[in-house]
């Protein structure tokens, strides 16, 4: 496909879209007929150009087709395809795909093939992605390349101008999300991770119970109290059927969480475990007693929840396990451990799931207004539980799964430094405004009292 033909294709594509818009905005029959006639002429030219382009593409060697497709998707010509760029291509290939579906699928696809975990696909990674598509479709790479090229070049669908602006404004957040997911896939497929799971799985049954997780973490953390606390947190948050077992998928997330806490990469954590396994002493009697006590604490914790009878509507909708997980989620958000969530803590927790910080601020204001029944500008555990129940009910979501998702993301995701500064600044300004309002109220009360 020559440079002149590529320019012709882009010109006809833009002209067709512009004429279609004119036709839809025609104010009278004469203008409509005129635009329709011109639109049909452009359609004929487009069809003729598509045939010429297809013939040109079919004559290209497979390697050139792949490069050509890569360059068409790489809109900013930086030799990498981002999630935003791939989402545009995916929507051109599937006209019925929504903006969010296209973005989610693009994030997933890039993360799966992003070997160097930079949040994008270079040409080598893109080739692997295309080879997978070819195998799944059961056709040749030549056929897949030609089909996708035709769709990407000529399709009038794709992201709108407004959606493109949204993607540009959120490029950093999207890239971070891709990198985190790519890190997970990389770890999941790492032979070293499989081997580490085997070392944790002392009885070889393919799952890890509380003691196996705790003893394994003891080799990494060097402290049984830290190991049991982390084991309790993760098992409680990920174990849907409450059998206190972790499968391989849950184990990967556990280790990535440990890596984040330690500030190390997976190789460092795995090596530390192997070294300690061979050169450090096993848990002594005192450690084993601490492990037993931790397991007894978990049992007592659930029994205590069973006796909890002050939840009102929550009690009728949340079983013991769900409420236990809700408490863990609450503890993760309650960063200063004062048993209530302030506006700042609620906003910081919610921001981990929001794409826009402005949306987070609006949501936090609305939730605090609606569920702060005590009107003390905080949410206690009962109010927080009621919030979760109603959100799940209104969204027709499974409460159990919703809490699991929120808690897991809370463990793995971190707010950016800019997000934290912005939210804390807003929280501080709210406190200052509240104090000023309180002073004004007190002053008015004094005036009224003196007048009376």
SS (H, E, C) the chain: CCHHHHHHHHHHHHHHHHHHHHHHCCCCHHHHHHHHHHHHHHHHHHHHHHHHHHHHHHCCCHHHHHHHHHHHHCCCCCCCECHHHHHHHHHHHCCCCCHHHHHHHHHHHHHHHCCCCCCCECHHHHHHHHHHHHHHHCCCHHHHHHHHHHHHHHCCCCCCHHHHHHHHHCHHHHHHHHHHHHHHHHHHCCHHHHHHHHHHCCCCCCCECHHHHHHHHHHHHCCHHHHHHHHHHHHHHHCCCCCCCECHHHHHHHHHHHHHHHCCCHHHHHHHHHHHHHHCCCCCHHHHHHHHHHHHHHHHHHHHHHCCCCCCHHHHHCCHHHHHHHHHHHHHHCCCCCCCEEHHHHHHHHHCCCCCHHHHHHHHHHHHHHHCCCCCCEECHHHHHHHHHHHHHHCCCCHHHHHHHHHHHHHHCCCCHHHHHHHHHHHHHHHHHHHHHHHHHHHHHHHHHHHC
Contact predicate 112/187, CB 8 Å: no
Query: What is the mean pLDDT of the segment spanning 318-333?
Result: 67
CA angle 102, 238, 384 (to 5 degrees): 85
Tokens 């639109």 -> residue: 39
Nearest to 120 by CA among 81, 72, 85, 90: 81
Residue 301 or 331, more confident: 331
- How many whole angstroms separate alpha carbon 379 and alpha carbon 331? 12
Q: Is residue 120 very low, low, confident or very high in pLDDT (cuts 50, 70, 90)?
A: very high
378-379 and 341-342 as β-strands: parallel, antiparallel, unpaired? antiparallel
Q: Is 142 exposed, middle or buried (0-12, 13-18, 19+ CB in 10 A)?
A: middle
Crossing angle between the packed helical segments 3-24 and 29-58, to the nearest 10 degrees: 160
Query: What is the mean pLDDT of the segment spanning 276-290?
Result: 77
Q: Is residue 237 very low, low, confident or very high in pLDDT (cuts 50, 70, 90)?
A: low
Q: What is the mean pLDDT of the chain?
A: 76
Tens digits of residue pLDDT in 72-113: 888 888 899 999 988 888 888 887 888 888 888 899 989 899
Nearest to 87 by CA among 108, 62, 106, 110: 106
Q: Is residue 321 very low, low, confident or very high in pLDDT (cuts 50, 70, 90)?
A: very low
Least confident range of 8-12, 163-167, 297-301: 8-12
Percent of the chain having pLDDT more than 90?
4
Q: Please say if the pLDDT value at position 452 is more than 70.
A: no
Contact predicate 413/256, CB 8 Å: no
Tens digits of residue pLDDT in 349-373: 888 876 678 888 888 888 888 888 7
Percent of the chain having pLDDT more than 70?
76
Four-residue CA torsion sign, 112, 115, 119, 120: negative
Q: What are phi and psi of 208, to 5 degrees?
A: -120, 125
Q: What would the two tokens of residue 422 be?
A: 């912005």
Provide the pLDDT for residue 309: 41
- How many whole angstroms separate alpha carbon 78 and alpha carbon 6? 19
Provide the pLDDT for residue 418: 81
């Amino acid at each position: 496909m020559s440079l002149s033909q590529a320019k012709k294709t882009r010109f006809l594509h833009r002209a067709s879209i512009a004429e279609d818009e004119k036709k839809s905005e025609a104010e009278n029959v004469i203008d409509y007929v005129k635009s329709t006639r011109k639109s049909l002429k452009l359609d004929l030219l487009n069809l003729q150009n598509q045939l010429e382009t297809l013939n040109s593409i079919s004559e290209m060697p497979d390697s050139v087709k792949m490069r050509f497709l890569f360059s068409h998707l790489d809109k900013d010509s930086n030799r990498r395809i981002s999630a935003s760029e791939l989402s545009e291509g995916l929507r051109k290939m599937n006209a019925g795909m929504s903006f969010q579906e296209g973005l989610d699928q693009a994030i997933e696809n890039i993360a799966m093939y992003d070997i160097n975990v930079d949040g994008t696909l270079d040409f080598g990674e893109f080739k692997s992605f295309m080879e997978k598509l070819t195998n799944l479709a059961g056709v040749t790479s030549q056929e897949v390349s030609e089909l996708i090229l035709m769709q990407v070049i000529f399709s009038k669908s794709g992201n709108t101008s407004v959606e493109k602006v949204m993607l540009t404004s959120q490029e950093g957040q999207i890239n971070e999300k891709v990198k985190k997911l790519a890190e997970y896939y990389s770890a999941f497929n790492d032979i070293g991770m499989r081997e580490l799971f085997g070392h944790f799985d002392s009885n070889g049954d393919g799952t890890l119970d509380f003691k196996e997780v705790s003893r394994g973490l003891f080799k990494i953390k060097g402290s049984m109290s830290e190991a049991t606390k982390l084991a309790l947190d993760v098992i409680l948050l990920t174990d849907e059927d409450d059998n206190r077992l972790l499968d391989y998928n849950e184990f990967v997330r556990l280790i990535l969480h440990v890596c984040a806490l330690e500030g190390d990469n997976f190789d460092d954590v795995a090596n530390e475990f192997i070294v300690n396994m061979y050169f450090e002493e096993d848990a002594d009697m005192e450690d084993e007693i601490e492990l037993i006590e931790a397991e007894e604490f978990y049992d007592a914790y659930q029994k205590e929840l069973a006796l909890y009878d002050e939840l009102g509507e929550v009690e009728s909708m949340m079983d013991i396990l769900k409420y236990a997980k809700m408490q863990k989620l609450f503890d993760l958000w309650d960063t200063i451990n004062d048993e209530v969530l302030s506006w700042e803590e609620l906003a910081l927790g919610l921001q981990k799931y929001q794409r826009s910080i402005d949306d987070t601020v609006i949501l936090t204001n609305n939730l605090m207004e609606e569920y702060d029944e005590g009107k003390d500008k905080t949410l206690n555990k009962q109010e927080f539980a009621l919030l979760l129940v109603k959100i799940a009910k209104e969204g027709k979501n499974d409460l159990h799964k919703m809490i699991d998702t929120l808690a897991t993301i809370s463990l793995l995701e971190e707010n950016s430094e800019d997000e934290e500064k912005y939210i804390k600044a807003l929280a501080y300004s709210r406190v200052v405004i509240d104090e000023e309002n309180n002073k004004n109220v007190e002053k008015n009360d004094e005036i009224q009292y003196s007048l009376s």
